[in-house]
Structure 1
Amino acid sequence: MKSLEKATADYEKAKEKMEASKARYEADLKRFKAAEIAKTEAENLEIVKIIRAMDMSIPELEAFKKRMKNGLPGRVEIQKEETKADDES
């Protein structure tokens, strides 16, 4: 009978630990999600500051966005350099 009592006690102890771990996990997950939301909000505010500093009207900003989307000269140059490096290898 001792082994049944020991097994039952071990089971209860393990169950309590698991429930405590689950509670800590849920609390950590809440903190993580809150931090993730705060990070996204901070990034968005930084983007808004940059855009406002450009001092463009909405139509000018839309035209700029189209030019960047269609042109992206910096990215094209990088891709060309990578292609040249690959060709030389």
Structure 2
Amino acid sequence: MHARAELTAGPHTGRRYRNLLLDARFGDVTVEVHTGVFTGPATVPLLTGPAEGACSTGAVTRGRTDGWIAEQRARAGTDRLFLALPVLVAAATVLK
């Protein structure tokens, strides 16, 4: 997952939300985390994309990627797949 995250323009920006808003002189800054929980076969595409991205960078081999994806599909098929996806939500007010 780290290799996939590094493909994005700002992989660590979420961790910096609060400080970025404070540095830009916003007030009443709050940050919340909302976690989505996904299970079952519909979850598999959420996992295969990042896995393929990591493979394309050379971070993991094709064999390891295919094996991991097969394992996730097998978990989904037996109702054992679980993904918790945190989303950071930041809010602030404009100071005058």
TM-score, scaled relative to structure 2: 0.22
Q: Could you say which structure has the higher helix fraction?
A: 1
Whose radius of gyration is greater, 1 or 2? 1
Q: Could you say which structure has the higher strand fraction?
A: 2
